[in-house]
Amino acid sequence: MDLKDKLRGAIRNFYSDTELKIKHKILEAYTCEMKCYEGAHDIEKADQCAAECRSMQTPIREKLSEFPKFMEELSSSLDTCGKNEKCADKAISKFKSSLENLVSSFSNT
C-alpha cells in the first residue's frame, strides 16, 4: 500500500465519521417525531409537532447528498497533485474544510 492509498484511507475515515454525524442528526429528527406522538392526547398538535420534526430532515438529507461530490473532487485533486505534498495538503485541507462547513451549517437545527 503506497502513501496515496494510506492517505485516501485516512480521508475515507474522516468522511465516514462526518457522514455518521449527519445520519445522527436524521435519527434525532425521527426521535423528535416519535416523541410528538408518545402519550399525545391532541392528535392535531401531535401531527403539527411531527411535521416540524420531519421538516428538519429535508435540509439534512440535501446536505448528505453533497458527500459524493466532495470525495470526487478530492480524488481528482490528489490525482492531479501526484507526489507534490504541498498540493496534496492543500487538497485535503479544502476537503476537510468543506465537510466541516457542511456539518456546521445545520448543526444547530
Domain count of the fold of the chain: 1
* Domain with 33 in it: 3-104
Neighbouring residues of 4: CB distance < 8 A, sequence distance ≥ 6: 78
Give the 3-state DSSP-derived string for 31-50, with helices as H, strands as E and coil as C.
HHHHHHHCCCCCHHHHHHHH
The answer to whether 7 and 84 are in contact (CB under 8 A) is no
For Cα atoms 101, 65, 33, give the angle at the middle one, nearest 5 degrees. 90
pLDDT in tens, 29-85: 889 999 999 988 999 999 999 999 988 877 777 777 777 887 788 888 888 887 788
pLDDT band for position 105 (cuts 50, 70, 90): confident
pLDDT band for position 88 (cuts 50, 70, 90): confident
pTM over 0.75: no
pLDDT for 47: 94
Is 85 inside any structural domain? yes
The answer to whether 90 and 20 are in contact (CB under 8 A) is no
Is 26 inside any structural domain? yes
Q: Is the pLDDT of residue 1 over 60?
A: no
Report the C-alpha gap between 67 and 71 in whole angstroms: 7
Is 65 inside any structural domain? yes
Is 46 inside any structural domain? yes
pLDDT for 63: 75
Is 109 inside any structural domain? no
Is 93 inside any structural domain? yes
